[in-house]
């Protein structure tokens, strides 16, 4: 069985407080984007994991796809036999696009369907939360306003299909932990639940990502890319998550030609 986990972007991202459990409270809108990995499982004599495409950093045991498999095996004993898992990475890791979270969440859904585990969407989302704060979003995979750690979600009516989305993925690594350490939490400057009523032409002056200021100070080449997106016609441009990926929303069939001091891949998606 084959699935294609997609990534996400953040439309606005406000870090509003530090929690007693060490995490931060945030407010954001998760929006699904059609840049996709490929994930397949096939019967096998013993479990095996095969990776291809972009490099995946870290230990294999920390891969969320394998953690999803272990989680469902533990909670549905005897129902999942040995399998070979093939993951082809297209979504860059550590870019603020949620690629690893998507892979883990899609693995839960794939296993549920293939082995007829009969878990509901809400049950899958609850299990996805055990993998990571933004993993439940990829179970629903529709635009959601999120708060708390990112797990407290409600659907939001935003449709960017009338526009073109250009995604820029620079070869710059931004540590999420370091990015949070550079943030001073404060109340959100705009209630993102009101985003559907705000004309997209007004987003530039209203909707912000709190990570941009500290991350751009350390990586001015990222700020330069955002400036080029606006200079070449973006209606709205932003960094996604804690970076380093950036995106521009353009009139349909338009995009920017980006030059940069760092290597990057851009994807003309919508």
Name, in order, each residue with C-beta under 8 angstroms of 88's C-beta and a sequence gap of 6 or more. Answer: 37, 38, 39, 51, 52, 53
Choice between 184 and 191, residue whose per-residue pLDDT is larger: 191
Choice between 196 and 263, residue whose per-residue pLDDT is larger: 196
pLDDT tens by residue, 87-105: 999 999 889 999 999 999 9
Domains of the chain (ranges, CATH numbers): 2-155 (3.30.230.10), 163-268 (3.30.70.890)
pLDDT tens by residue, 57-82: 777 778 999 999 999 999 999 999 99
CA dist 266 and 169 (Å) reads: 6
Q: Quickly state the pLDDT bin for 153 (edges 50, 70, 90).
A: very high
Q: Are strands 83-89 and 48-53 parallel, antiparallel or unpaired?
A: parallel
Partnered with residue 42 across adjacent β-strands are 84
| DSSP code per residue over 36-89 | E-EEEEEE-SS-EEEEEES---S-GGG-HHHHHHHHHHHHSTTS---EEEEEEE
pLDDT tens by residue, 185-230: 999 999 999 999 999 999 999 999 999 999 999 999 999 999 999 9
pLDDT of residue 175: 78
| DSSP code per residue over 198-245 | S-GGGGGGT--BTTHHHHHHH-HHHHHHHHHHHHTT-SEEEE-TTSS-
Q: Report, as residue numbers or ranges, the catalytic residues.
A: 8, 134
| DSSP code per residue over 129-171 | HTT-TTHHHHHH-S-EEEEETTTEEEE-----TTEEEEEEEES
Q: Does residue 265 carry a pLDDT above 90? A: no
Q: What is the largest CA-CA distance in the chain?
A: 57
Q: Quickly state the pLDDT bin for 31 (edges 50, 70, 90).
A: very high
Q: Does residue 176 carry a pLDDT above 80? A: no
Q: What is the mean pLDDT of the chain?
A: 94
First vs last C-alpha separation in the chain: 27
pLDDT of residue 12: 98
Lowest mean pLDDT among 73-82, 119-128, 176-185: 176-185
* pTM > 0.85: yes
CA dist 218 and 210 (Å) reads: 14
Q: Quickly state the pLDDT bin for 261 (edges 50, 70, 90).
A: confident
């Amino acid at each position: 069985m084959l699935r294609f986990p997609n990534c996400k972007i953040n439309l606005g991202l406000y870090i509003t407080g530090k929690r007693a459990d060490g995490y931060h409270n945030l407010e954001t809108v998760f929006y699904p984007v059609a840049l996709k990995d490929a994930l397949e499982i096939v019967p096998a004599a013993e479990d095996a994991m095969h990776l291809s495409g972009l490099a995946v950093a870290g230990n294999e045991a920390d891969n969320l796809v394998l953690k999803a498999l272990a989680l469902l095996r533990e909670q549905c004993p005897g129902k999942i036999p040995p399998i070979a898992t093939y993951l082809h990475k297209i979504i860059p890791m550590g870019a603020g696009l949620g690629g690893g979270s998507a892979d883990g969440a899609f693995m839960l859904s794939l296993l549920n369907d293939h082995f007829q585990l009969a878990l509901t969407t809400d049950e899958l989302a609850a299990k996805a939360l055990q993998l990571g704060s933004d993993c439940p979003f990829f179970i629903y995979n529709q635009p959601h306003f999120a708060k708390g750690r990112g797990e407290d979600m409600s659907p939001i009516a935003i449709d960017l299909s009338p526009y073109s989305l250009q995604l820029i993925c620079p070869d710059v690594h931004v540590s999420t932990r370091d990015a949070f350490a550079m943030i001073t939490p404060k109340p959100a400057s705009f209630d993102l639940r009101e985003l559907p009523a705000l004309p997209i032409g007004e987003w530039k002056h209203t909707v912000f990502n709190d990570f941009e200021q500290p991350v751009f100070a350390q990586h001015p080449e990222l700020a330069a890319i955002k400036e080029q997106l606006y200079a070449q016609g973006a209606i709205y441009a932003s960094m996604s998550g804690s970076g380093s990926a950036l995106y521009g929303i353009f009139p349909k069939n338009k995009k920017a030609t980006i030059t940069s001091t760092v290597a990057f891949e851009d994807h003309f998606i919508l």
